Structure 1
Amino acid sequence: MNFNQAIAVIGLGKSGRAAAEFLLEAGAEVRVTDAASTPAVEKAARSLRRRGAVVETGGHTAALLEGVRLVVTSPGVPKGSLPLRFARRNGIPVISEIELAARRWKGAIVGITGSNGKTTTCHLVRDILAEAGRKPALCGNVGVPFLETIPKLKKDRTVVLELSSFQLEDSPSLRTTVACVLNVSANHLDRHGSLRAYARAKERIFAGQTRHQWAVINHDDLRVRRMARRCRGRVLAFSRKPLKEGIYPEGANLVIASGGKKTVYANIEGARLPGVHNLENILAAATIARSLGVPGGAVTRAVRSFEPLEHRIEHMGERGGVRFVNDSKSTTVESTRAAILAVPSPVILVAGGRDKGSDFRSIERLLLERVKFASLYGESRRKIASSWRRFKRRGECERFEDAVKDAWAKAEPGDTLLLSPMCTSFDQFASYGERGRAFKRLFRRIARS
């Protein structure tokens, strides 16, 4: 790759800063632009200016982009932003930080994407590989830039990449040793415009593969199964049901079916991940491990010792006989469906935030069966409420804290008070983690009262 040219970096979040620092080190003429001017952005801008970058904050200008030959964009940058419109109009290539890093990294890459379950599956794969002595590195959409990780690694290490649709759509030549699509359901339609376009972005994870790489697919998801027909890599499937070829569960055993024979690969008795969706995450991680030649014993040990991640169906404790569960990471309807099915009913649900173009009607039947009351908050509260024609056991609050207090007021002994928002946090919080921590503080306050 030619670094002796002007390259623009759009966005000064973690991935943008990592891209700018890498390009400066490589000798490129670096120009950086960010629409925000928060203290964190200004601090990063000052650091990059000292190293020789041209940086603008608080808005974008076309002047900064004149003469640029490549644009590196951050995942959260809107497609309609001035820099990306300028690049399209002038035929300037646009790539992600992931793509830039992948062009440099020569070692093995395990890429994992899907609408739900990516983070848990990535952590499972990381732990399984570590148990097998492979010394993996986890980065990508988990909050650690790929470019930031590379300098710390030797080429014999395996990189486990969590990949979002935003990252994949700007990673045209990404080639993974193993690529996995967990599932595809309506998500980020405010960005992609349609489920079909969103699914195409996910499918790009397979685009750079050859017959020497592995494509791991969820046989139970029809959209993913259709992707397998177009894969150039070797397909290895997993399913919750028996397969003629692939990996599936028989009781606590994970079984490999191949060539008319079946063998036990691993045993997951004692796993502490609740819900059917987590069984799929375990199956995906085990199938990836199998494709990499990892012994089943490492899968067994890693799965049995794996603890649920923070903000993902995280049981916090009880107060007055009411269970409190933090599932702030659930920003889709399907992930909230999985959470409701994974916890004891009746459920008092706290949901809301900023909508991503979701169809909230699809969960109404489950609410009627398992949810006693839904406390809705934030920008999306009215849209969510109006989408439910039959489920009327609900309340609306503008502020998150008031919605949690309302939910607690409705709760009785034996209930589960579940934060599972179906929406992003960005109307009132900087991240789902910040929202989850706010929920924990409210729980501690309630527990002391």
Structure 2
Amino acid sequence: MELKNKKVLVIGFAVTGIPLVKVLNTLGASIIVNDLRTEEDLKDSIAELHGIDVNYYLGKHPDNIEELGKIDLAIISPGIPLTIPFVKEIQKAGIELIGEIELAYRLSRGTIIAITGTNGKTTTTALMGEIFKNANRNTHVVGNIGVAAISKALETKEDDYIIMEISSFQLESCVYFHPHIATVLNITPDHLNRHGNMENYADIKFSIFKNQNQRDYAIINYDNDITYDKSKDLNNVIYFSRISELQRGVFVKDNNIIIKENENEIEVIHIKDIRIPGMHNVENALAATTMSYYSGISVETIRETLKAFKGVEHRIQYVDSINGVSFYNDSKATNINSTIKAIESVEAPIILLAGGMDKGDEFDLLFEGLHNKVKSMFVYGETASKILDSGRKYGFNSIFKVTNLKEAVMGAYKISNDGDSILLSPACASWDMYKNFEERGKEFINLVANLRG
């Protein structure tokens, strides 16, 4: 993609902003950065780009696109909705508008494997990275997992594999993005404050397949009603299932993961030998096994990696035990279904810490999914009152509203008994109080350390 002397507008200077500007500079583009935050807010990011010629338009979006002169390309941060007036004006002016993932795709060489879904993306992406590395494939693990895809794009070679975690926000601004293998792990309610309804949300998730052809693979969760129903018009679908035996695909039979191809059944691993806990992680293992097998990786390598893989930070991460009370950091759980899966995975009785930014979700499903494992809850953040009201509606009265996570941890420990598990699994985004879920999880770990003294 030729960008030398092209005028490129970067809208939103979020996590991907710094590596994006560095790549655009390497390619010889003329760069404008627009962000609603002020120069003072962004001083650390601006300092990191010292020596690079960037024009900054900060504190607001331009009143009209003409203020910026002739723009050849606009690249939008995934955190900015495509519906805001300034973005609509860019589109109306006929300026090409893409996201960082789309640009990374256009600049990258190698085979792309893309992973999306409501839950399990990060664990599955990290697991895939380990499988491919253990198979001695030159592998880049990028995307929503925390490494900007654009930061590795110019390093990639034809024989490389690029494992990408992709969010719905990132998919909205993709145009020609074409993964050889892609999966939608599951679809449950999330981000409805942005996408409006489940139909829109599912359509955006399934746009990951829109440029695939018969030589590519669409890996689909057979057990999830939405993914199964939407998969029927896709090219070359391979299903995985935790519940049903399949004519072709990857499934659980007699507690073993089985690959079935051409009537032959290949036993991969007994599910008790998978190191990451919970049945939801069996589903993640099934998806990773399917994608790896159809990438030509040996069953032995898949098996040995599943036996060794310990999971990812902030996802049902064991932190410590103090006076017989176990602490688990599941800060990555930013929606209700993810929290339910954590509750199912952690030993009862559980004291649950939940709350955060209000994404428009209703919390009835959470209280339907407690399964008598949660004995008490501490809630905080924007959604605290909303969760409290849902709990009372379902007769769950051992629920305490507090100001912040510190008070939640202290309160939970105070009422805990030997054998209890204190689980941070917020069921909400972190952005009302934290930069991201990682910051929230690290604070929890520090608070537990302070309890130990």
* TM-score range relative to shorter protein: over 0.9
1:424 aligns with 2:432: no
Alignment of 1:215-364 (within 5 A): 215-232=218-235, 234-241=236-243, 242-251=245-254, 253-266=256-269, 269-364=272-367
**Maintained 8 Å contact 1:373/1:410:** no
1:135 is displaced (CA, Å) by 2.1
1:93 is displaced (CA, Å) by 2.5
The answer to which of 364-373 and 155-164 deviates more is 364-373
1:82 is displaced (CA, Å) by 4.9
| Structure 1 CA distance for aligned equivalents of residues 375 and 93 of structure 2 | 55
| Structure 1 CA distance for aligned equivalents of residues 48 and 444 of structure 2 | 34
Unaligned runs of 5+ in 2: none
1:153 is displaced (CA, Å) by 2.9
| Structure 2 CA distance for aligned equivalents of residues 316 and 161 of structure 1 | 28
Instruction: Give per-residue Cα distances to partners, 1:129-162, cap 9 Å, x unaligned.
Output: 1111112110011111111112333221100000
Q: 2:401: which partner in 1?
A: 396
1:144 aligns with 2:147: yes
TM-score, normalised relative to structure 1: 0.95
Alignment of 1:60-75 (within 5 A): 60-61=61-62, 62=64, 63-75=66-78
Look up the SS of the partner of 1:152 in the other structure: coil
Unaligned runs of 5+ in 1: none
1:81 is displaced (CA, Å) by 4.0
**Maintained 8 Å contact 2:242/2:283:** yes
The answer to which of 245-254 and 211-220 deviates more is 245-254
Q: 1:168: which partner in 2?
A: 171
| Structure 2 CA distance for aligned equivalents of residues 44 and 445 of structure 1 | 31
Q: 1:79 to 1:328 in 2, by over 3 A?
A: same
User: Match for 1:235: what amino acid?
Assistant: V
Instruction: Give per-residue Cα distances to partners, 1:276-313, cap 9 Å, x unaligned.
Output: 10000000000000110110000011111111211110
User: Match for 1:444: what amino acid?
Assistant: A
1:228 is displaced (CA, Å) by 1.6
| Structure 2 CA distance for aligned equivalents of residues 64 and 303 of structure 1 | 54
Look up the SS of the partner of 1:263 in the other structure: strand
Q: 1:51: which partner in 2?
A: 52
**Maintained 8 Å contact 2:109/2:156:** no
User: Match for 2:239: what amino acid?
Assistant: A
Q: 1:347 to 1:315 in 2, by over 3 A?
A: same
**Maintained 8 Å contact 1:379/1:398:** no
**Maintained 8 Å contact 2:109/2:153:** no
**Maintained 8 Å contact 2:186/2:224:** yes
The answer to which of 121-130 and 143-152 deviates more is 143-152
Equivalent pairs: percent with the same residue?
A: 34
Look up the SS of the partner of 1:369 in the other structure: coil
Q: 1:134 to 1:250 in 2, by over 3 A?
A: same
TM-score, normalised relative to structure 2: 0.94
Instruction: Give per-residue Cα distances to partners, 1:306-336, cap 9 Å, x unaligned.
Output: 1121111011121122111110110000000
State how many pairs are aligned.
447
| Structure 1 CA distance for aligned equivalents of residues 153 and 330 of structure 2 | 31
| Structure 2 CA distance for aligned equivalents of residues 352 and 84 of structure 1 | 31
Q: 2:185: which partner in 1?
A: 182
| Structure 2 CA distance for aligned equivalents of residues 272 and 368 of structure 1 | 24
**Maintained 8 Å contact 1:9/1:32:** yes
User: Match for 1:332: what amino acid?
Assistant: N
**Maintained 8 Å contact 1:266/1:297:** no
Q: 1:46 to 1:67 in 2, by over 3 A?
A: farther
Look up the SS of the partner of 2:239 in the other structure: strand
User: Match for 1:237: what amino acid?
Assistant: Y
User: Match for 2:424: what amino acid?
Assistant: L
